[in-house]
Structure 1
Amino acid sequence: MRDVSGKTVLIMATDGFEESELTGPRQLLSDAGAKVVIAAPGNDPIQGREKDRPTIKVQPDVRIENVRVGEYDALVLPGGVINPDQLRTNERAVQIIRDFNAAGKPVAAICHGPWLLVEADILEGRRATSWPSIKTDVKNAGAQWVDEEACVDGNLITSRNPDDVAAFSHAISQLLCEEQVAAQ
C-alpha cells in the first residue's frame, strides 16, 4: 500500500454491507495513513454480513445527508446484496456518487457495490467489473464488463468479490497517490 497520509476517504454503507468489503479497505487505508469516515443513512450502528449471516455492527461517523463531497478525497462503496440495493433508493447517496465522479475523485465499488454506479448513471463507456450476478446490469448501463480483481478506469475502481479486497484497496491508494502527485 502507498502512503496516503493527509487523505480522507469516505465509505458509504448501510445495513447488509459485506463485512470484509467495509472493514478491509477501512483497515488497509487507515494503516496507509488515510483518515477513513463511515457514512450511513442514520446515526445507529449498521449491521454487517458475511454471506447470509449477520456479523459485526459498525458505528457511522456521519449521516449521508450531511456529507460534503469537498471534505473527502475518495469514495468507497462496499457490496453485499442488501447494502447497495438499499442505498440505490436513497437519492442523496446516489447524488454523492455523481458528485464524486463529476469532481474526478476516486469512486471505488466492490462486489454488488457497482449497482450504485449503475443507479448513478456513471458507467457509460467505462470498463468495470462486479459480482457476476450483476454483470448484465453493469453492461446494460453502458460499461464494458471485465473479469479483473481490480479494474481501474480513470477515477473509477471496481472489484469482483471479498477475495479482491487487498487488490481493491491497493488500487484506491495508488489512485490517491497519483492524485497527490498531479496536484503538486
Structure 2
Amino acid sequence: MAKVAFLLAGGFEDSEMKNPYDAVKEAGHEAVIIGLEKGAKCDGKKGTVSYNADLGASEAKSEDFDAVIIPGGGAPEALRVNDDVVRFVKEVNEEGKLIAGICHGPQVMISADILKGKSATCYIGIRDDVKLAGAEYRDEEVVVSENIITSRTPFDEPAFIREILAKLN
C-alpha cells in the first residue's frame, strides 16, 4: 500500500481531484490531502466537491509519502507560490518518487524546477511555461517521463488514473 499526497487549495478542478482520489483509495492506497494549512477547507471551482486538508504543507515530509498528485484548476497557482509546497515537491522528486499533475498541476512542477529534460503535457494555456521550464511538450492524453506523469484535461482522467495506479502497484 502506498501513501499518496494530494496537493490541494481552493479552486481546483472538481473531477481532477475526486476521480484520482477515489481511485487511489479504492485501489487500497492511503490518500492524504496536503493544503496550505492543516484543516483548510478546499472547495472545487464547480462546487461539486469540497475537502479539508489533513496536513499543512509546512508539516509535509517527503519521506512519509510514496507519491504526489496535483489536480488542476486554479489551485496550482496558489500552491506554487508557497515555499513549503515547492520544497516538498522538490524533495519528493529528489527521492525519485512519483509526481503526477493534470491540467494546471504542472505549474507546481515548474516552480519546483523539476521538468528539465523530461517530457510532459498540460492544459494548453501553460504549454509555453512547460517548454520554458525545460520539458519537451507533447500533446497527448498522458505522458510518463521517468517519475513524472502529466495529463491535459478532465477528458484525460482515465489515462491519467491508469498510469498512476500502474506506478503505485
Fold shared by both chains (TM-score > 0.5): yes
1:120 to 99, 112, 121: 112
Structure 1, unaligned runs of 5 or more: 1-5, 178-184
3-state DSSP class of the match of 1:15? coil
Instruction: Please identify runs of 4+ aligned residues in structure 1 that moved more than 2 A.
Output: none
Instruction: Check conservation: 2:18, 2:49, Cα contact below 8 A.
Output: no
**Is 1:12 matched up with 2:7?**
yes
Alignment match, 1:63 = 56
2:82 to 73, 81, 90: 90
**Shift of residue 63, structure 1, vs aligned partner:** 1.2
Identity %: 37
2:18 to 23, 34, 58: 23
**Shift of residue 86, structure 1, vs aligned partner:** 0.7
Alignment match, 2:148 = 156
TM-score by length of 2: 0.96
**Shift of residue 60, structure 1, vs aligned partner:** 1.5
Alignment match, 1:46 = 42
**Shift of residue 171, structure 1, vs aligned partner:** 0.6
Structure 1 Cα separation of the partners of residues 129 and 93 of structure 2: 19
3-state DSSP class of the match of 2:125? helix
Structure 1 Cα separation of the partners of residues 124 and 70 of structure 2: 17
Alignment match, 1:34 = 29
Structure 2 Cα separation of the partners of residues 119 and 153 of structure 1: 18
3-state DSSP class of the match of 1:27? helix
Count, aligned residues: 168
- Aligned-partner residue type, residue 62 of structure 1: L
3-state DSSP class of the match of 2:6? strand
3-state DSSP class of the match of 1:142? coil
What's the Cα RMSD here?
A: 1.0
2:157 to 158, 165, 171: 165
**Is 1:131 matched up with 2:126?**
no
1:74 to 67, 74, 77: 67
3-state DSSP class of the match of 1:135? helix
**Shift of residue 56, structure 1, vs aligned partner:** 2.5
